[in-house]
Amino acid sequence: MSLVTLKNISKIYPSKQGSVYAVEDVNLEIQAGEFYSLLGSSGSGKTTILRVIGGFEIPEQGRVFLGEEDVTQQPPYQRNVHTVFQKYALFPHMTVTENIAYPLTVAGVIQGEIDQRVTEAIETFRLQGLADRQPSQLSGGQQQRVALARALIDRPKVLLLDEPLSALDAKIRQEVRQELRELQKLTSITFIYVTHDQEEALALSDRIAVMHDGKVEQIGTPSDIYNQPASLFVAKFIGKANLLTGKIINSRTVDINGYVLDIPELSVNLGDLDSLDNSDNNLPNSEQQIAKEQIARKSQNPSDQVTVMIRPERLQINPRTLRDQEITGKIVNCTYIGQTREYQVQTSMGLLIITKLATGTDYAIDSIVEISWSTEDCVVLFN
Is 194 within the bounds of a domain? Answer: yes
pLDDT reading at 347 higher than 60:
yes
Residue that finishes a domain, picked among 199, 227, 255: 227
Residue that finishes a domain, picked among 202, 227, 252: 227
Are both 253 and 219 inside the same structural domain? no
Residues 6+ apart with CB under 8 A from 263: 252, 253, 254, 308, 375, 378, 380
Is 383 within the bounds of a domain? Answer: yes
User: What per-residue confidence (pLDDT) applies to 278?
Assistant: 52
Taken in order 134, 140, 142, 144, the sign of the CA dihedral is positive
Is 289 within the bounds of a domain? Answer: no
50-109 pLDDT, tens digit each: 999 999 999 999 999 999 999 999 999 889 898 887 777 888 999 999 999 998 988 888
Are both 257 and 176 inside the same structural domain? no
User: What per-residue confidence (pLDDT) applies to 242?
Assistant: 97
Show the domain range for 351. Answer: 240-267+298-383
User: What per-residue confidence (pLDDT) applies to 270?
Assistant: 40
User: What per-residue confidence (pLDDT) applies to 262?
Assistant: 93
For residue 154, what pLDDT band results from cuts at 50, 70 and 90? Answer: confident
Are both 187 and 306 inside the same structural domain? no
Are both 249 and 302 inside the same structural domain? yes
User: What per-residue confidence (pLDDT) applies to 174?
Assistant: 78
CB atoms within 10 A of CB 255: 14
Is 281 within the bounds of a domain? Answer: no
Q: What is the mean pLDDT of residues 320-342?
A: 90
- Mean pLDDT over all residues of the chain? 86
Are both 154 and 246 inside the same structural domain? no
User: What per-residue confidence (pLDDT) applies to 273?
Assistant: 43
- Distance in angstroms (rounded) separating the CA atoms of residues 132 and 171: 26
Is 162 within the bounds of a domain? Answer: yes
The total number of structural domains in the chain stands at: 2
Is 76 within the bounds of a domain? Answer: yes
User: What per-residue confidence (pLDDT) applies to 142?
Assistant: 83
User: What per-residue confidence (pLDDT) applies to 260?
Assistant: 94
User: What per-residue confidence (pLDDT) applies to 297?
Assistant: 53
Taken in order 255, 260, 264, 266, the sign of the CA dihedral is positive
User: What per-residue confidence (pLDDT) applies to 277?
Assistant: 54
The rounded percent of the chain whose pLDDT value lies above 90 is: 52
Is 280 within the bounds of a domain? Answer: no
Residue that finishes a domain, picked among 172, 199, 227: 227
261-288 pLDDT, tens digit each: 999 987 654 444 445 455 455 556 666 6
Task: List the one residue out of 78, 141, 139, 127 whose CA is nearest residue 99.
Answer: 127
> DSSP 3-state assignment of 145?
helix
User: What per-residue confidence (pLDDT) applies to 261?
Assistant: 93
For residue 8, what pLDDT band results from cuts at 50, 70 and 90? Answer: very high
Q: Do the Cβ atoms of 249 and 255 come closer than 8 Å?
A: yes
Q: What is the CATH number of the domain that holds 35?
A: 3.40.50.300
User: What per-residue confidence (pLDDT) applies to 49?
Assistant: 96
Are both 217 and 248 inside the same structural domain? no
Lowest mean pLDDT among 20-29, 177-186, 200-209, 247-256: 177-186
Are both 32 and 120 inside the same structural domain? yes
233-258 pLDDT, tens digit each: 999 999 999 999 999 888 889 999 99
* Rg for the chain, CA atoms, rounded: 25
219 compared with 148, residue with greater pLDDT? 219
Residues, the chain, total? 383
Are both 202 and 262 inside the same structural domain? no
Are both 57 and 169 inside the same structural domain? yes
Are both 122 and 90 inside the same structural domain? yes
Are both 191 and 246 inside the same structural domain? no
Is 292 within the bounds of a domain? Answer: no
CA distances to 46, 71, 144, 176 from 140, rounded to whole Å, are 24, 34, 6, 10
For residue 126, what pLDDT band results from cuts at 50, 70 and 90? Answer: confident
Are both 210 and 324 inside the same structural domain? no
Q: What is the CATH number of the domain that holds 327?
A: 2.40.50.140
User: What per-residue confidence (pLDDT) applies to 281?
Assistant: 54
pLDDT reading at 298 higher than 60:
no
CB atoms within 10 A of CB 278: 7
